[in-house]
Structure 1
Amino acid sequence: MRSSQVVLTLWKGLAIICLVLVVAGCQRAGREEVLARVGSARITQADFDALLEEVPPYARAQYTTEEGKKQLLDIMVRWEVLSRAARDEGIDKREDIATRLNSIEKRLLSETYDGEVLRAMAGVPRSDFEAYYREHKEDFRIKPSVTVSHILFETEEEALAARQRLEDGEDFAALAGELSKDLATRGAGGSVGVVVKDEPIPGLGNLEEFVVAAFALPVGQVSHPVETSRGYHLIKVTGKDAGGYEELDTVMERIRDEILVSDEDIEAYYGENPDEFIEPEKADVRHVLCETEAQARRVLRRLEGGADFEEMVETYSTDRGTKNRGGRIGFVTKGRRIPYVGSSEEFEEAVFALQPGEIGGPIHTDKGYHVIRVDSREESYTKTLDEVRDEVRRKLLPERQRQGAEDAYEALKTRYRVRIMGEEEPEVGQHTFDDLFKLAEEAQAQEKPEEAINYYREVMNRFPDHREAYKAQFMIGFVYSEMLTDYDKAKVAFQVVIDRYPECDLADDARWMIDNMGTNAVPFEPTGTLTADKTTMGMS
């Protein structure tokens, strides 16, 4: 067993992070069982469990034994004791320690924001999630449901007799185990599970009479016999859920995927890449694998004479993988690897030269000599949009997430006025706000969108608190949209206007642009006031 000192060395990074949390006075919520006290501070089971989760998986097992748990708790106590002593000695006030703690805190916060906001949510602002949720709320409806048990009988008389026994005090589950004709639920005390309104009943299918009776029953009561196509049921409802809507925070990932890759994006990709969705011709094939060509020819002659193919497989085939399944290798698809055979142009050509029921061979591959039979064939076809919708979304999502996170980071750099000394910047000198805005407009007029964006960004960097700074931010989005047709970056820029300047006279225009750019909507007419005239901005 490693000593605590060695473990402390291995976990130095983790220890420092925990120290930051202690200094900040952070406490984890969770299980409140107190494992140790250091003065007024408590080390709880929740703290212990959280730290154990941070231990690398290969080392975690050693801290699940009684001795290991004690060792880990000793480490936590040591951290608490020594960090208190350090503060008492004023070590936390030392410049070098404060600098390190600040650096660690920044790293922890930035990694968390990067993971939870930029990467996980692809930089999509929460307002977009809220708007999508409002507009598509019915997509997140939870249907009413009931939790049900039943006893199934062949006749109504049997059901009535059983109901009398229940009224006399017998247990429903025990009676289901004794009498029910539904073998699937009898061993579980008649439990059917959750029945959702307007959906098939688990294990029973579509039984409208059953569903109507179940939803009408109060919890705990047993129905009178209910007749369905399966027989007569005694139904007991053990729970009810009135339904409602999923909470926004529980469906964020689903909404993110819909925002990043819309149905229009999927339809466009499908239309632009038709070859990707062609399902090649394929044939269902069986074979007899022989060691020599002479043996394969003997098998072929016997098959041509009327011998049973499966019997030939059993007698002669050396392929253990297909021998116990009548020689069936499965579907051979044009241009793809052949099951149990590998890559073989000759084998593929022979397969697609045959019609269903025909026999061919011998075909030589590195496996041996094959005699084949084609059982069926399926012609090539193009998959429908609905068939590939999820496939296309999965294909497009990673790049959209990466680009969304990158764009959101660039917007944050603008928000927090990042300037890297030495990097090429616009020639701005001592220009005023109006000078820079005019330079940006001139760059637009000269059809130099990237230069225009640089000037507008310089306006935001140098004059973030100017009463009209929001106009430069709006124009960054406008240039991206109307001159570069980069709608993703435009959306990020317009969202900054909405988030940072919600009361400005261009906030509604920014929302309009987000909703309509790239469409055939009525041409944009600003409701707010812009420094530049519309002709200069390209909005004539």
Structure 2
Amino acid sequence: MIRIIRSLIIISLLSILVFAGCELGEKEKDTSQILAEWDGGTITEKQFNERIDLIPEFYRPRGGFTIEQKQKYLDDYAIEEIFYLEALEKGVDKSKAAQDFYHQNAERIILDMYYKDTIKKEIKPTEEELMAFYEAHKDDYYKKSPTANLLYIETETMEDANMAYQKILGGADFVEVMKEYSINENIKKKDGKINNVRKGGYIPNVGRSDELDSLIFVAEVNDVIEPIKINETFHIVKVIDKDMSTVRPYDDVEEDVKNRYKSEKEQELRQQLIEKLMKKYNVIIDSAAVEAVDYAQADTSAAAGAVVLISSNNPDLVYTAKEFAEEVSLLPDQRKQTLQDEKGKLDFITSKAQNDVQYIDAIKKGYENHPEIKNELHRAKMIGTLREYYKQYVADKATVSEEDIEAQYEQDKEKRYVKKPNARIKQFACENKVTADFVLFKAKEAANDDELNALIQEYCTKKDNDGVIGPIYEGGIIPGVGKDDTYLEKVFSTPEGEFSDVFEDAKGNWVFFKVIEYNPKSYQSLDNVRNEIVSNLTKKAQRDLFNNLKTEIRQKYNLIVYKDRLEEKLPADSLFSLAEEAMTQKNYARANYYYDKIIEQHANGQNDYKAKFMKGFIYSEYLNNNTKALEMFEEVLTYPKEGTVTDTTLHPSARYMIKALTGEEDILEKINQQSETKE
């Protein structure tokens, strides 16, 4: 039930809310046009666009929102607002469920703001502090291996390697020698360069070699290392650059230094703040009592439940064993497991005390009215209220009777719950009819399955599983054969335990079979599918109730949504460009959407003419919908329309496509003919 409520609320009611909020306090005067209005409220174009703009890129459709999508968002936005008014009128916001939801989310929002103000804003590191942090931790976080950049030659023989080496020593350019002698085509493409080789690491295109590694990092820059054999080939290396430092420089890691410094400083300041607040509110954790908590006793025994685990001079911070047991009971099983030992219990209580004391301090300092989180807190209240409203007036009222369940079962059983007739057979597949007739004669004389199996192994071409195949369903396929109507007809006309006659199957095998099991048509029982039916009927009942409720509340609050005010008429050239872009992205449905807009908004006899041709092309070439394609191409040939002027240069192409789609013209043959003519 919880999952249903959550998903339906998110999908049907709060589709925008999760992405953005609206300003509820004082605003600048908004003079943009009104897109929706009701008794007591409006949505302006500015408000709507602010919501759309705040939707994360990840959730935005490729190519942007269509007018239809924007219109749906607008309608959802307006419905959300009037549902909230209705929920407030009925006092749903004061229900325990709505209040609990609000407090759970408000605590997180308030603590985040409190933490930001009391800790994060206090951290303003100077350059000297960051440099000191870097010096103190560079061996912990910023160690690195020496690196070198190389020029490299690989040869098949030592002779070639020595010749190349001597040329280099004689003053020849290393890269030119590499091009002449190296057999490594991959490195040739890079002009012989291998960059960023780490000391003690893997050398690209060479592998690991302790000997070569040591030679590289003792060599001086511009030294050429004489040929060395590694993995059956010979290698010459020139060191062109070397960095022997073992610590990354500050400039390279400055951002990471800042982040690490801030993180450590945050932990330090947080600990100081908690210690200060624990003293201020005289918060004391009774460790022995925490470790001794028995959840069952604390929940059922008044004496055990009254044991104080957290004491304080502020009553809101006092926490008893019974409250602990109740809170733990609501946790997932995996989390409960971590609270069975003494350490787990104490860690939980310590964390709770620390969070609670910060929250109480934040409330006392007025953070519940902090202007920067006013909207978030309102959204938390709104979501909790709407969730509970939906539960009370939709989910809880959507009931399904036994008569409804039985009627739905009868209505769906032929389509959803039928078990088609099926059979299992022992198949005898032979190379020719003579063999098959002989095996059938012997099979009818067989005394048992062992003798039948022996016949299959000796005479038949398909011996797997001793010829047993199935289940074979009425109207289905024959395993190993495929679709074969004659075979199927024989399977379901041969009585169980009997042999069929010999016939040729769709694969050209001469076969007969024995029906070893036949199951007539049957149905899944109502009990087996009851949960599915109840779930589907409940969802439908909830949808119907919700839609009826929307209609009632629209009327009650006189809601008017001006969807037409969201229409934006782009120039034809822009729409053609958008369509072409969609096609390059293989989003053909989107391309057709833009062509439809051209047809609808720019019906001047020319733009709509081109758009219809392009729709026909998409249907025929990409969507495999020849019917729609023909419809479009035939429509193209009706131009020019009365009162318009059309450049009919696409008419020949449209006629050609019609012939191709109807089989009057073979496109491939036409292309071949044109090619031969050119030759």
- Give the TM-score, by structure 2 length: 0.35
Larger Rg: 2
- The structure richer in helix per residue is 2
Alignment TM-score, normalising by the size of structure 1: 0.43
